[in-house]
Chain A
């Protein structure tokens, strides 16, 4: 193999590579003193992230079918499936909750999502002021892409669309305070692929159910009645 391929290597000898030692030439670099600097003065100038930069996620809650493909592909195991109750109504399927303390922003989850529910925006600023409550901020169920787009058009500085997240331990109510002042409330009632106790029928009915798919619908409607 060696002998066949060797002649194709065009070797460059010393004469071409070797350069000349010089005292004077380095001083020619001084000409750059009179040119415009390339440094970006950050608070005054800004570079926009490229279109389709891999930033924060968005999730269309209506489209998500809770298939957990995103959770399976995630290399950092940043995705946790979450059962959510909005306005007293339990969502039929679990939704992914992304922990940005682990996320690597690879967006493999976006690639595999079969329904296109999960998406991403260019927003990329992860910095906070370092307060204790800010740590809560980056573990969220992504919100609707339209809302994020709207916020982006309003502010245009590519920051996290949510200003503060509070979690009430007793009522399990989570509140997102969006940047434009609106609030968004829902309840997190459980984690994992299996429906949580609140969404499950009475234990006597069906203790072990593998194919929860079909039964999930009536389960959630039952619990709605119970809650209501």
Chain B
């Protein structure tokens, strides 16, 4: 590739940009990693390679840019739910919830207890199915396809539960400002959820056996993509990636919302900051999420309405909240997800800003961590950072 003919003018022009064509030296070559590679999902990394080592990595996102924030300004408040949840595909309930929480705060609605319980449960279920999705991706990247196949099968159970609760499988469009759209379908559903939780608890042992205790996993991840505490804090790393460098920050504990203050769970923290630590933190969080779901089920849904009673909701398309602004954030499997909504008193929001965790994980941190890594480690670093390209591009 080294003596690839690139026209001289193009080379000159390329020097001006940092993005596309780079002048190629004798021993270095340029490698386009993704978006057709499975690990990168929907974005690509341009790698400048020296043999098997990466000299420089430039992240090339933007394949999924749809301009959600701008689109949200042109649609009525409730309608935006069907739009914003597309920001995070594996756990679409997170954008729904942050937006709804922010609008609730602007309007000043006290969300009924039952709705809060349902929202907490839905968030935890979404976390669990997102973990399963992550195992699918991560297992495939290091060549342990069996774990991925199992995880996909277990995720199906949650999808079925979601289907019965919300009427949709992947995009639930369920949490709306003021509550949720439907009530729990009945005790049968709660029993099914408990069965699923019990079932997965047993299956976690299987995952330990074939994935987390596996010699291959540990060899592939130990000491790969190390980040230290200072670096992580400077680059606004959140979520499991931050807990893997020794900072016990969890939005559910530090800025609790919904039912989380009443729930008992632990925050796993490791110090190493390498890929293995990130994997193990995630492994432990799965256990905690199942435990949280169990507690929620023991508590049982409180009785009462599942939606606020407000006469303004009768004319939904023209619903106008008062002037104001609010920020709300939740803990997702990717990190700290937040939304800032500004209302100017009309029936459409003046501004919606979404703070996604993947911007820092997938762009700035990834570029730094890839420096000096081997080519084979790229998927491992990518998957253990667990970024979500739709969230980077938005």
Bound complex: CA A105 to CA B170 (Å) = 12
Are A73 and B316 neighbours in the complex by a CB distance under 8 Å? yes
Is A205 an interface position by the 8 A CB rule?
no
Of the four ranges (under 10, 10 to 19, 20 to 34, 35 or more), the interface on chain A belongs to 35 or more
The 0/1 profile, CB within 8 Å of B marked 1, for residues 11-40 of chain A is 111101111111101101100100000100
Are A26 and B253 neighbours in the complex by a CB distance under 8 Å? no
Q: How many residues of B contact A (CB 8 A)?
A: 54
Are B212 and A53 neighbours in the complex by a CB distance under 8 Å? no
Bound complex: CA A108 to CA B176 (Å) = 11
Q: How far is the CB of A76 from chain B (nearest CB, A)?
A: 8
Residues in B with CB closer than 8 Å to A137 are none
Are B82 and A22 neighbours in the complex by a CB distance under 8 Å? no
Residues in A with CB closer than 8 Å to B150 are 32
Are A18 and B253 neighbours in the complex by a CB distance under 8 Å? no
Q: Which of B277-285, B324-332, B352-360, B365-373 contacts A (4 or more CB under 8 A)?
A: B277-285
Closest to B75 in A: A75
Q: How far is the CB of B17 from chain A (nearest CB, A)?
A: 36
Are A74 and B79 neighbours in the complex by a CB distance under 8 Å? yes
Are B214 and A104 neighbours in the complex by a CB distance under 8 Å? no
Q: How far is the CB of A121 from chain B (nearest CB, A)?
A: 11
A28-B209, A106-B82, A108-B79 known; A19 and B283 CB under 8 Å? yes
A69-B317, A112-B316, A112-B317 known; A21 and B267 CB under 8 Å? no
Are A9 and B267 neighbours in the complex by a CB distance under 8 Å? yes
Are A2 and B254 neighbours in the complex by a CB distance under 8 Å? yes
Is B218 an interface position by the 8 A CB rule?
yes
Is B160 an interface position by the 8 A CB rule?
yes
Bound complex: CA A220 to CA B76 (Å) = 33
Question: In chain B between 269 and 323, which residues have their CB closer than 8 angstroms to a CB of chain A?
Answer: 269-271, 280-281, 283-284, 314-318
A21-B218, A52-B167, A69-B316 known; A12 and B268 CB under 8 Å? yes
Bound complex: CA A38 to CA B152 (Å) = 10
Bound complex: CA A91 to CA B314 (Å) = 26
Is B195 an interface position by the 8 A CB rule?
no
Are B213 and A107 neighbours in the complex by a CB distance under 8 Å? no
A19-B208, A108-B78 known; A29 and B146 CB under 8 Å? yes
Which 10 residue pairs of A and B lie closest in terms of their CB atoms, listed nearest first?
A72-B317, A54-B167, A106-B82, A75-B82, A29-B210, A75-B79, A50-B163, A50-B164, A25-B209, A12-B268
Give 14 A-B contacts (CB < 8 Å), ordered by A residue.
A12-B266, A12-B267, A12-B284, A16-B284, A17-B281, A19-B212, A29-B206, A29-B209, A38-B153, A51-B185, A75-B79, A75-B83, A107-B167, A107-B173
Q: Which residues of B contact A (CB under 8 A)?
A: 75-76, 78-83, 144, 146, 150, 153, 156, 160, 163-164, 167-168, 171, 173, 181-182, 185, 206, 208-210, 212-216, 218, 248, 250, 253-255, 265-271, 280-281, 283-284, 314-318
